[in-house]
Amino acid sequence: MVSKRILTCLGVVVAASLLACAETRPPERGSEVERRQALVRERARISEIFKTISERNRTVKKSDEWLRQAYGGLQIRRLTDVPRARYGEFKKYVTNGAVYVIVHPGFYVFFENQVKLSSDEDRRAFPRKNIIERFGDSIPQEAFSFKIALEQEKLVREFLEFASEEKKLVIVLLPRDHVRHLAYGYVEGLDEYARYVNEMTNASESVLYLESLGWNNGVIETEDQRVLTAFLEELGVRTVFVGGGYIGRCVDDCYISLRKKFSYGDVILVPELLVMSFVDTVATHSALLTKKGRISFKEVRKYVDNYGVTMSEGSEIPKTSALSLYAPYRDTGRAR
pLDDT score of 101 = 98
CA distances from 187 to 67, 182, 192, 232, 269 (A): 15, 10, 9, 38, 35
pLDDT at 75: 97
Can you give the pLDDT at residue 16?
A: 46
268 Rama sector, left if φ>0, alpha if ψ -120 to 50, beta otherwise? beta
Q: What are the average pLDDT values for consecutive 10-residue runs of the chain, which has 336 residues? A: 43 44 54 88 94 96 95 97 98 97 97 90 90 92 83 97 98 97 92 97 98 98 97 98 96 97 97 90 74 92 93 90 96 79
Give the number of other CB atoms < 10 A from CB of residue 196: 20
pLDDT of residue 144: 81
Amino acid 287: pLDDT: 84
Return all residues near 145 (Cβ < 8 A) that are at least 6 apart.
Answer: 278, 281, 282
Query: What is the per-residue DSSP string for 239-295?
Result: EEEEEEE-TTTHHHHHHHHHHTTS-BTTEEEEEEEEE--HHHHHHH-GGGB-TTS-B
Q: Answer yes or no: are the C-beta atoms of 103 and 250 closer than 8 Å.
A: yes
- The CA–CA distances, whole Å, from 31 to 25, 35, 45, 277 equal 16, 6, 21, 46
**pLDDT value at residue 210:** 98
What does the pLDDT read at residue 27? 57
